[in-house]
Amino acid sequence: MQIAFIGLGNMGAPMATNLARAGHTVIGFDSAGTTAEGVTNAATAQDAVKDTDVVITMLPNGQILRAVADQIVPVMKSGATLVDCSTVDVESAHAVAQHAADVGLGFVDAPVSGGVGGALAGTLTFMCGGSTDAFAKAELLFDIMGQKAVHCGDAGAGQAAKICNNMILGVTMIATCEAFALADKLGLDRQKMFDVVSTSSGYSWSMNAYCPAPGVGPQSPSDNDYKPGFASELMLKDLRLSQQAAESADADTPMGQMAAALYEKFVENENGLGMDFSAMLPRFEKRGRS
Ligand code: NAD
């Protein structure tokens, strides 16, 4: 298959390379001029998409996605499918889906979980929204780039699943970090804390797979001076998306709201910018109740 891939950043580049390694022809475009192994770059986004059956986008946010869609949708091949893997607001997913439908193109919103490691290894999870037909066309490619693709519903359902998942992640990471900081002050050994919680009812992905305490549990960014990994500012972006969605859907999400406020403070006023999102632990460690 001939595939266009727009946005060859930390995630997009390895995803595009995996498609090329599986034997597909991948034509790439990135406004910063980056490329990826096995991918042939086009001079413009329009050039990249004009003859391809599937166009994949992996871009920073909804505003950029809408701008790129405005450029490419009018020149995409008749009957082609646009698959957006970026994490964006639900409204942007709906707007781009409508734009595609208006000119007879298929659309799937397919944000991912699994980070750069999952993108490199081809083990991402895709959470997808769109018609059954559009999902079926993209499924083969999800199988190459990932280990699981869940068709969650109509357009926008993938983004809804993603921001709900990441709201849980932000909240559980904060809870895990503040519990470690409390355990420290109570004189509890961190390894013992991990041994108990990781096999008790306080367990979570944040504790068991991505432990924020250095030297405890599996290797994670805490063992590498909290270099990301998943940067705090990206977690803040996702928590803001979940709060934006909660506001427009009139949903009560007090824990998500508190997590967004804590990450905002961390990123904007407490040197959290560029640190992994698990660096909430050293942040709590230094603090008392006041
Ligand atoms: P990134 O910043 O490394 O990559 C984005 C790329 O898009 C950049 O290379 C940039 O030059 C390019 N770009 C920006 N504007 C463009 C335009 N107008 N036309 C073409 N290219 C353009 O970001 P990333 O880490 O690869 O993340 C991409 C998306 O995936 C984001 O929405 C992010 O929230 C999501 N995501 C990231 C991770 C992660 O761990 N990094 C995990 C899951 C989801």
pLDDT for 249: 95
Please tell me the residue having the least CA distance from ligand 1 atom 31.
60
Based on the structure, what is the number of domains in the chain? 2
- Say whether both 226 and 116 belong to one domain: no
> Is a pLDDT exceeding 90 seen at residue 290?
no
Residue 68 and residue 280: Cα distance in Å, rounded?
Answer: 34
| Rounded average pLDDT over 277-288 | 95
pLDDT tens for each residue of 115-142: 888 999 999 999 999 999 999 999 999 9
Please tell me the residue having the least CA distance from ligand 1 atom 7.
7
Residue 40 pairs with which residues in a beta bridge?
A: 27
pLDDT tens for each residue of 199-250: 999 999 999 999 999 999 999 999 999 998 889 999 999 999 999 999 999 9
DSSP symbols for the chain: -EEEEE--STTHHHHHHHHHHTT-EEEEE-TT----TTEEEPSSHHHHHTT-SEEEE--S-HHHHHHHHHHHGGGSPTT-EEEE-S---HHHHHHHHHHHHHTT-EEEE--EESHHHHHHHT-EEEEEEE-HHHHHHHHHHHHHHEEEEEEEESTTHHHHHHHHHHHHHHHHHHHHHHHHHHHHHTT--HHHHHHHHTTSTT--HHHHTS-SSTTSSS--GGGGTT--SSBHHHHHHHHHHHHHHHHHHT---HHHHHHHHHHHHHHHHSS-TTSBGGGHHHHHHT----
Query: ipTM of this model?
Result: 0.99
Please tell me the residue having the least CA distance from ligand 1 atom 1.
9
pLDDT for 163: 97
Predicted confidence band of residue 4 (pLDDT cuts 50, 70, 90): very high
- Say whether both 38 and 138 belong to one domain: yes
Q: Residue 248's domain spans which residues?
A: 160-286
CATH code of the domain containing 60: 3.40.50.720
Token pair for 139 = 């499924």
pLDDT tens for each residue of 10-32: 899 999 999 999 999 999 999 99
pLDDT for 19: 98
pLDDT tens for each residue of 144-189: 999 999 999 999 999 999 999 999 999 999 999 999 999 999 999 9
Query: What atom in ligand 1 is closest to the CA of residue 67?
Result: 18
- Alpha carbon of 109 to ligand 1 centroid (Å): 15
- Say whether both 120 and 198 belong to one domain: no
Neighbours of 143 (CB within 10 A): 14
CATH code of the domain containing 208: 1.10.1040.10
- Say whether both 125 and 167 belong to one domain: no
- Hey, which residues are catalytic here? 162
Last residue of a domain, one of 154, 170, 202: 154
Query: What atom in ligand 1 is closest to the CA of residue 86?
Result: 32
pLDDT tens for each residue of 260-271: 999 999 999 999
- Say whether both 103 and 182 belong to one domain: no
Predicted confidence band of residue 191 (pLDDT cuts 50, 70, 90): very high
Last residue of a domain, one of 154, 175, 199: 154
Structure pTM? 0.94
> What are the pocket residues of ligand 1 if the criterion is a CB atom closer than 6 Å to any ligand atom?
6-12, 29-32, 34, 45, 58-60, 64, 67-68, 86-87, 112, 115-116, 230, 234
**Letter for the amino acid at 215?**
G
pLDDT tens for each residue of 46-103: 999 999 999 999 999 999 999 999 999 999 999 999 999 999 999 999 999 999 999 9
- Say whether both 100 and 223 belong to one domain: no
